[in-house]
Amino acid sequence: MKKIAALIASCAAAAAFAVPATLSLTPPADNAVAATATSAVDYPIVLKEGMRGKDVTALQLMLRYSSPDLKVDGVFGADTKAAVIAKQKAAGIAADGVAGDDTLNALMVKVRSGDRSLATAATQTLLNKHGASIEVDGVAGTATMGAIKEFQSKKGLQVDGVVGPNTWSALYGEPQSDSAPVPNERAQVAEYAKKFVNGDAIPAKTLEGGVTTQPWKGGVIPYTWSGGHAKGIGPTVGNCDSWRKDYRCLAEERVGVDCSGFARWAYALAYGKDVLGPSSSKHQAKKGQVIKRSELQPGDAVFYGNSTDSIYHVAIYIGDGKVAHTYSQKHDPAIDTIDDAAGGNPYFRRY
């Protein structure tokens, strides 16, 4: 099994890891740090949705005690927020999904020499934030204990090798620059979709793998059958293959996008990679995670069809029950309610 260090080395990659069987998912009773008047401390950081970095990675590792299926990727997203809320409810504190003093105090577990635990992995992660360069394997061995004592000495703490409330607080100190809020990629999908509807100028962007999206100078973006697919991401000339309308196809005469090209472009710009690919909406729908209508967030995709096997349209959810999309050669890109955007049944996907 790969070491934790290899699996969480890059938070940007957002790769989940399986906790090795050697690490305890249940903190020993005598290691629990109760949030009492004598043990509770102030923390120099408040962790919330949209943040990323080693502070978030450590938080996620500690949340695994109560939410064992939580992905540890260093990105504070919706799942991490839900895990924080669950812990807050269990601890009887305000369930706001924000990890501040009360929540961090409720989460903390003492780390001692010889421990093999999630708390040790979290400690190692934070020590590395402070320049320790030790392996994140969840084992409190010689190197880890040395790093803990060195850190305690530098911070003027009791040098006992035990990570208690004061050491935890100091470890979360001096938040690194990558802990700052960053644009939520899914939310950025919705923002790009609104820009398309507004006819805003969209510059070209180089994506992962060196692919460059098509620029748009501004103005109404025409609906173009098969536009934005094989010839590039963003507005392109299309073709009239499989055109079945009772009016003339203009796809080979103008640059634009069709509904799936519209969605592909928005996702590519937001995520920096070709998330949806050059396929039709029917095939795009097969890639996404199925979600319920009640779970929709801006940037999720809404597909339309008589069934999941007969998808014929896709739109981008932008919030307040509305979607942005392009759907007809006779109409400009538009914002409509979910139920008015197209016929058939809506199906919801997340990427």
* Same domain assignment for residues 92 and 234: no
Select from 108, 112, 109 the least CA-distant residue to 141. 112
What's the structural domain count of the chain?
A: 2
For residue 183, name the pLDDT band (cuts at 50, 70, 90). Answer: low
* Same domain assignment for residues 161 and 71: yes
* Same domain assignment for residues 47 and 103: yes
Task: Give the pLDDT confidence score for residue 318 in this predicted structure.
Answer: 95
Task: Give the pLDDT confidence score for residue 26 in this predicted structure.
Answer: 65
* Same domain assignment for residues 222 and 167: no
Q: Is the pLDDT of residue 258 over 90?
A: yes
* Same domain assignment for residues 158 and 299: no
Task: Give the pLDDT confidence score for residue 39 in this predicted structure.
Answer: 62
Task: Write the pLDDT tens digit of every residue in 118-136.
Answer: 999 999 999 988 888 898 9
Q: Is the pLDDT of residue 25 over 50?
A: yes
Angle between helices 78-91 and 54-63 (to 10 degrees): 50
Candidate from 24-28, 43-47, 139-143, 304-308 with smallest mean pLDDT: 24-28
Q: How far is CA 288 from the centre of its chain?
A: 14
For residue 41, name the pLDDT band (cuts at 50, 70, 90). Answer: confident
Q: Is the pLDDT of residue 35 over 60?
A: no
Which tokens is 159 given? 């040098």
Residue 80 neighbours by CB distance under 10 Å: 26
Task: Write the pLDDT tens digit of every residue in 153-163.
Answer: 988 999 999 99
Distance between CA atoms of 129 and 148, rounded to whole angstroms?
Answer: 13
Select from 289, 290, 288 the least CA-distant residue to 276. 288
* Same domain assignment for residues 69 and 128: yes
Task: Identify the sign of the CA torsion 188, 190, 192, 198.
Answer: negative
| End-to-end C-alpha distance for the chain, whole angstroms | 28
Q: Is the pLDDT of residue 178 over 50?
A: no
Candidate from 22-31, 180-189, 319-328 with smallest mean pLDDT: 22-31
* Same domain assignment for residues 129 and 174: yes
Last residue of a domain, one of 127, 146, 179: 179
Kindly report the CATH number assigned to the domain that includes residue 324. Answer: 3.90.1720.10
Which tokens is 285 given? 């729908």
CB 252 within 8 A of CB 236: no
- Average pLDDT of the residues of the chain: 85
Q: What is the CB-side half-sphere exposure of residue 18 using CA atoms within 13 A?
A: 5
Task: Give the pLDDT confidence score for residue 13 in this predicted structure.
Answer: 32
* Same domain assignment for residues 54 and 95: yes
Q: Is the pLDDT of residue 321 over 80?
A: yes
* Same domain assignment for residues 170 and 248: no
Domain range enclosing 312: 185-350
Last residue of a domain, one of 179, 201, 236: 179
- Report the predicted TM-score, pTM, of the whole model to 2 decimal places: 0.52
Partners of 291 in the β-ladder: 348
Q: Which residues have CB under 8 Å from 124's CB, separation 6+?
A: 132, 134, 135, 136, 137, 138, 144, 147
Task: Give the pLDDT confidence score for residue 181 in this predicted structure.
Answer: 44
